Structure 1
């Protein structure tokens, strides 16, 4: 028995896999690197505004937190914990994006922070970039409160009550969310694996509050990315559901028999001016003396005239 037959088949399969991988990597390179760079060249340095603001904000709050009074004000402005009231946590969430996390090095994450916000601004624009960053951060914060309230042992997702007093700050959830959202809408499996896969590994290796929030941020970004570009479709579905609901209410209500419509009254014709009756034709009368001296036939002829 020879092995000449399977060898060409394996080579053909490997060649197809290599071509498929090459096409994917080429498309991802153009969507993640080439296209954003072209947009940045057209916009200039103004396209890097969010990246510079994010990096400068983290460095600024890090320097202020090195002093006792500055650390107190940083905690009051951007310190988020699960034991705080919900309204206060939501109020501090925008500032907490720029407050460095306690267990993460600041200078090592500045480059990743800058790249995530700069790339997202070039592809998505400023408004959508801020919306995705804030949505993923708030989703992680709310999920942390739910996990702490559930307690440990809740299918392995709950957290002990001590995690409610841990300071929950840092832009890591926003960075992970932005990279995941971009990888979903741009069809970039390599970037998705590097971000989502690393977060899953971090959560398994070090099961802490930050790892759980990163997983929630990844899930939120995936959902938002799948809904990207389907606004018209969702609006059409919503309209259909509303119409079906209104029809159901209409059929469920009491049947009302409409009253027979009355025929409209005929309006009297309006006269544009005063009515003038035609004058009667003039009648010629024969004098009695002339009629008396004539014969009846002559009289009748006269009357006819």
Structure 2
């Protein structure tokens, strides 16, 4: 399917357009392998110098963790914020019978994904206004994209709309641990991506609450920061000294400001949702 990827599509915030534009963030050495995420480092020895193969493995493992939570089986799966399409390709390889669609707001990313993953379906669209019909997918996943979404309520409503009854959403991303006043200012002082607006500081409870408000059940967030931040910081030490801005992600985690979460919810099979209370699971 050859959906439009021109600039007549959804509006992109300027900082997002620049970051994922001609320079191709996925080609940066800190990411490697075409993935753009911080990685899930469980089982990797951080006391030894990290290799590029381990870095790529960490990014693959983050996708595997999200996919396992979504349990796609033989399903129609949508990835929101699919980037270069490497996660879509991994899902297709590892889950027999799954049909995968990748959606990204940036036309350059959609073009790159189509070139890198021929045969897979990639569509330009916004998380807050997905270009799909009702109940098209059994599974929705998103890996490290929600920090860019302009409107979590609209994303949650669209997720609920495009999921079939019995479907699930699984999302990995970083959020503030609470809604204490000053969290956005604290992060902006520590991390350039929050200062320039690329990343938006919001509490994880806001997302679980929006999923519940949209009619999804059992909306919950599980902290996985212990498997993300130390490995990410160790990998960054190749290029940045301690106390430089990218390494402040680990500092923000240790100071109890920011964490990394797996967020899940499901669309009820029928009737009215019985449990719409979002839950945050302890570390």
- TM-score between the two structures when normalised by the length of structure 1: 0.24
Q: Return the structure number with greater strand share.
A: 2
> Which structure's relative contact order is higher, taking Cα pairs within 8 Å and 6+ residues apart?
2
- TM-score between the two structures when normalised by the length of structure 2: 0.25
